[in-house]
Structure formats: structure tokens, C-alpha cells
Amino acid sequence: MAELDISRKNRPKYLGDHQSVLEDFRVAMISRHASLMGRKEVFMGKAKFGIFGDGKELAQIAMARAFQIGDFRSGYYRDQTFMMALGELSVQQYFAQLYAHTDVEAEPASAGRLMNGHFATRSLNEDGSWKELTKMYNSAADISPTAAQMPKLLGLAYASKVYRENKGLKHLTQFSIHGNEVAWGTIGNASTSEGMFFESINAAGVMQVPMVIAIWDDGFGISVPQEFHTTKGSISEVLAGFQRTEEKPGVEIINVKGWDYEGLLEAFFEAGELARKDHIPVMIHVEEMTQPQGHSTSGSHERYKSAERLQWEKDWDCNKKFREYILENGIATADTLDKIESEAKALARKEKEAAWTAFSSEIKKELAEAVQLIKSAANGSTRKVVLDQMAEELKKTINPIRKDVISTVRKALLILRYDQNAEKDALKFWYEERQKDIHDRYNSHLYSESQWSVLNIKEVPAEFKENSPTVDGREVLQAYFDAKLENEPKFFAFGEDVGKIGDVNQAFAGLQAKHGEWRVADTGIRECTIVGQGIGAALRGLRPIAEIQYLDYLLYGLQMLSDDLASLHYRTKGGQKAPVIIRTRGHRLEGVWHSGSPMGMILSSLRGMVVCVPRDMTQAAGMYNTLLNSDDPAIMIECLNGYRLKEKLPANLNEFTVPLGKPDILREGSDITVVTYGSMCRIVLEAAAELSEIGIEVEVIDVQTLVPFDVHGVIGESVKKTSRVIFADEDVPGGATAYMLQQAMDEQRIFSYLDSEPQTLPAKAHRPAYSSDGDYFSKPSTDDVVEKVYAIMHESNPKKFPAI
């Protein structure tokens, strides 16, 4: 190894002085001992599970040196050293996450909602407003699914491109300084086998965005060696065709060893400069890394690594090699390094103990209160012996968690069910107060709780003038998007065929030519990273519409929507938000594909997102306005067969809003309520007109949004009047109709108002067959609605409505 001449004037700037090298060594030692202690804490029963970043310290320190204020990270659950090197993660916070401390001050990344190793900085103030992201280090909230951090990384880098190229955004210095921010990503070698990784790399090469991906390659994916994961056993060899050349843009590929301090610094600084200055994507393949404690606390790597491999990992441990480097270059003596390591170990232990004390003292306080209240209640109870025993067992619990306390109190209240005294009331009051606290700790912030929540956006009715033209539905959207692009510089749209031709249904027709390619943009066929593009851009203060061409294709991006976007606000307890709108289209058409309505799938997997199901394009435009004034992420499902239907064009396109969570009564009736949405509104209205001719008056309700669902109790009030209800849609049986029924039964208590059994009218269990006949026999028709309603009325009054 070459001698390190600290005095030479032409040294690369990435090589610091002696003090900076020793500081890097100190951070590496602190992180390593935190990992070693963390594993022991799990085995002692003080934490549930552990996954650690040991063996990756040196590369992460090099990345942290190249990372600049305003940059973003989208990474991997082993990046603790990187976060510590930036000063964005203290050892006490590291252990607070290991223990799942639910205090956001103690554990700011997730408030105890994520297992350890999942890092995030808080982009938002307590009121939900944005911080100055260009004045802080930024880490997007981590997720566990392998490679799922990559699409979001692409979006974070894409935002820099948008900020640089769209001159209308240059005043937004809170979010970007001329697009100079680099998005840094990390991933394990085995996870590069995932399609999300390949899709992201390809998109980055096409788009030329400032994205740096570091691959931590330790030769395994849990127990499976590299040869089972990657062709040729090397991801950099596989991707050699992506390497940029003088003639063609592409991706810069750099190889470096995970134990080579100078090489790592050079690699990361070079990558950072290329990405920052020229917006060239870079992949750094960091090879010969180790994992001293194996994959996680769930097993031992001795089971699947040979003795030779285990010895090699000891010999080539990056911290060991770093120590050798420092000694060989005369930067410090062995005694100095021993002292640094000893102090690092002591610091890690001290911070660990402080984290445990802070975590356990809260629970012990609650436990002591519960024990005292149970004993007090026991004194006047015939079940005193049992209650005293419960209190004593709770008191003796080793390393208690909140579940131990609350579960015991609930059991005690059950035992005390026949007692009526002040002591029991005190215990019950204590439990009810804890329930509020528990909601805040474990259940809050699934949706925005800020002043910009969709539920707080003021309703502004659509205005129509006498000369308001009647146009195709797609022209309503076209006029709306035109107005929004004119008035909101942060708003833009992208997706397959969105740009030049204006999307497949022409709602953006001509708008790219008018507003530019950075406002209305085409993408490749890559739904997963279209979603990621939207998430990353929204995380950086932009207001994107990311289009998925058809609802069927949502499946390609569903993991990103479910695992990342829908849970983002929740898993950071309000620390980050990404108010992206996913625009797509579905419902009524003909054929197995492009006519789907998989709403049950969406409702089950995308809690945390608003789900809009407008019946026409005017309603859609109003919902877009509401969403763009709010800070909740959403999916907008437009009606495929509605773009050519005629609608009146509102005069206040840019201002009017549709309240979300408020159903619309399309037709009043007294005999039965039919609740539906989307394209089914027209079907049900046609049926209601037919039924009216035979003396049955149907109240037709369009829910408008499935999430939030009827927060005003409109359905409940209707059922009070009619005493009968059908929930109808085009989803499979047990899908959204079952969801709507459950919401009405559980949240609005409609059961007591019913004189007839509540029923559902969904589509068939299969996708619709092709042709008009396929549609008629696969999805609910006007005839189906008439038949269903009539059957219920026959059961209610067979004399007036005899069997058909």
C-alpha cells in the first residue's frame, strides 16, 4: 500500500488530515461496537430482532464524506455507520429504535414503528409544513422489501433534474439549489437480482439523473452465495453494457474494495462530482465486504459459510484493514488506536444504557401505576386473591413491555365486571386514558393530521354559466390540466404516452407543446419506477401526477405503492410526506384487460392513500383540485368509458373542489338505497328510472371516494329513511362491496335501521369476457340492478310486488 504523505500539496481533496482519518476510525469503532452490543441485547430479550451494519463501516464513512447538505439518501437497513458519520443518528437513537421506543424525540426516524436499521430524517415540522431541505442532510424513510428503495431513489434524483431544467422552479430554494442535489442509494448485492433494481438502473441511464447507487457486496444473500444470484457472479460485469462512453450516455460504473480506505474515498467523491455537476448516474460496486455477525439475529452464518470463508472475513474485515492502513502510514500509533477503540466501546455502552433507561422507565412507570390501581380495586372485591396475584406477577415481570401492562389491566377489568366502586372506576379511567396514548403511539398518522389533510380542504362548488359549453369528458380534464399547469409551477405530469400525444385518452393533448417537456413528460414502459419517480419527486416538495396507463398495470407498481407510499406518513409518524397523485383508469369496458376494477385489492393494500373513484371527469377535476391543495397521497381511478361522454365545462376549473369522504345523492328515493361509484352510477341511475315506473323509488348514492369513506354519515341517514340497502360495483364478490357494507355496518351502525337483509351486487368472480355480451354477462347491468332491487321489494311486500 502506498505511503500517505499528508504534506504533499497535490493530494486529492478527499484525503483529509490525520485528525479526519482518526475521526473516521472513531466512527467505525463506535458503529461496530453498537452492532456487537445490539446483537447481545436481542439475545438477552431486551429487543425483538436485530439486523446490523457491521462489516460495511468503511464504505459508508466514505459515502458520508462525499454526501453534502441538501442531498438525499434512499437506502438499505445496514447503513447505520453512514447515518452516524453524518451526525444524523446518535448511538442512543440507534438503540432506541432497537428497543422500539415510541417517543419521536428518542427515536426520530420512526417513533418505534420500524425495526432497527431503518433510517429517516424528519422533513416536516410538527405542523406538517416543510423544513428547509436544502439546509439539512436528508434520508428518505427506509423500507425492508429488497430493492424497493431503488424506484424512490430514481424519483429523488429525477427531482434534481426537474429543478435544474424547469426554470419556473428556481425560486423554490427550500427544496433545491439549481438541481445540484445528489440522490445516494445503497443496496445489498443479492437484492440486485430484483427487477426493481434493473428497472431503476435502466431508467436512470435513459433519464441521466444525479443518482449514485452503492452496492454492498459481501458475496451472499442470507445463506445463498453470489453464484445463485447474479450472472457471472458480478453485477458490475453484468451491467457493463450500461457503461457510458464518449459517444453514448449511460451509467458510470466504478469498482472498489470494501476495505480500501483511499479507494473508497476516491470512488465516492468521483461519483458525487459526476452526478452533481453533470447529472450522470453512477453505480459503485463495493466488493469484498464482510458481515461479521451474519445476516441477522435470526440465525448464524456459521451454518452456511465455510471455515475458509469465515477466516477470510476475519482477515479482511474493513475495520481491521483500516487499522492496518493507519499504522502503515504512520497516522497514529497502536496505543492511540487502542485508546480510540476503548473510548468508542465505552461510549456505545453508555448510550445503550441511556436508551434502555429512557425506554424502560416509561413502561415501568405505567406498570407501577397499574399495579397500584389493581391492588386498590382488589381490596373491595370478592376476587381479591386473584387480582392481588395478577398484580404481583405483573410487578415481577422482567423487561416488561407495554403489552404486559395493558393486557393485565384488561383481564383485571373483566374480573371486576360485577363490582361497582370508585377503585374500579379509577382503573377503568386509567385504561381509557392509556387507550388514547396507545392510539398516538401505535395507530396515528396513517393519513395526514395537518391543516392540509384532504378532510380539511374547503369545498368550492363548480360554477356553470348559461353559455358554459358541453364537451367531451376528456376535454374537461384537458382544460383543467391546462389551467393547473399555467397556475401551479410545482405541478407536472408524466407517464407512458402522456407527453407528445397527450395520454391515450387525450386529456393532456397539446399540453406538452404548450408548457414544455418538463411539465408534461413521456416515460418508458416501467410502472414500478413511474411510481418511484412520483414518490421521490413528491418527497422533495413537487406535486406530480404519475400516470399508470390502465388499472390492470397498477400491479406492476403495487409493491411501491403499498410498501412505501401508503405507509410513509405512518412509518415516520408524520415526519415525511409524499403527496403524489397516481392517475389511472379502469371500470367499465370490454375484455379481460383494461376493464378491471380490482378495488378490493387496492383497498386492502393501499390504506394510507386516498382512493378516488369519480363518476365523471368534472368530478375528477374537482378531486384533483382538492388533492393538490392537500398533503395526502392518492390514487385517482377515472372511468375508461367516460372520456367521450358529454359534460358541461365548469367556469371555475382552477378553483372548484369536490369534498372527499362526502357521498353525493344522485337521486332521492324512499324505498331502497343503492350505494355505488364510478361507471356504475350511470347503470344504477338508469335502473332507478325504470324502477320508478313500477312504483319503486330508489335513492342512488355515489360514494365518490372509497378512502376516506362517507365521513359525514350520508349512507346511514339514507338507510334510516329507506330501511333497505344494496352496495353495488364492478369489483369481484367480497371486494369493495363488502368493504362498503362493513364501513356502513361498523362505522354508521345501519343494522338497527334495516328491515331487509343488506345485500351486495358485484361483478362476477372472473374478469369480464370480451364483447358487449361479455360485458353484459360479467358485470352488473341495468337489468341486474332492477332484478335485485325488485327481489328485495318483493320480499318486503309480495302483494304489491309479486314474484317475477
Q: Catalytic site residues? A: 594
How far is it, in rounded angstroms, from Cα 642 to Cα 588? 9
3-state secondary structure of 88: coil
Q: Give me the sign of the Cα torsion angle 729, 734, 739, 743.
A: positive
Cβ atoms of 91 and 335 closer than 8 Å: no
Cβ atoms of 793 and 671 closer than 8 Å: yes
Please name the residues in contact with 376: beta carbons below 8 A apart, sequence gap of 6 or more: 423, 426, 427
* Peptide bond between residue 400 and the one before it cis (omega within 30 degrees of 0): no
Closest to 505 in 3D by CA, of 586, 436, 560, 422: 586
Closest to 280 in 3D by CA, of 209, 335, 220: 209
Q: DSSP letter at 518?
A: T
In our burial notation (b when 16+ CB lie closer than 10 A, e otherwise), range 346-366 reads ebbeebbebbbebbbeebeeb
Cβ atoms of 579 and 611 closer than 8 Å: no
Instruction: Give the three cell numbers for residue 565.
Output: 407510499
Closest to 193 in 3D by CA, of 230, 218, 153, 247: 230
**Per-residue CA distances from 132 to 108, 123, 138, 218 (Å):** 17, 8, 10, 37
How far is it, in rounded angstroms, from Cα 754 to Cα 758? 7
Cβ atoms of 635 and 611 closer than 8 Å: yes
Length of the chain measured in residues: 804
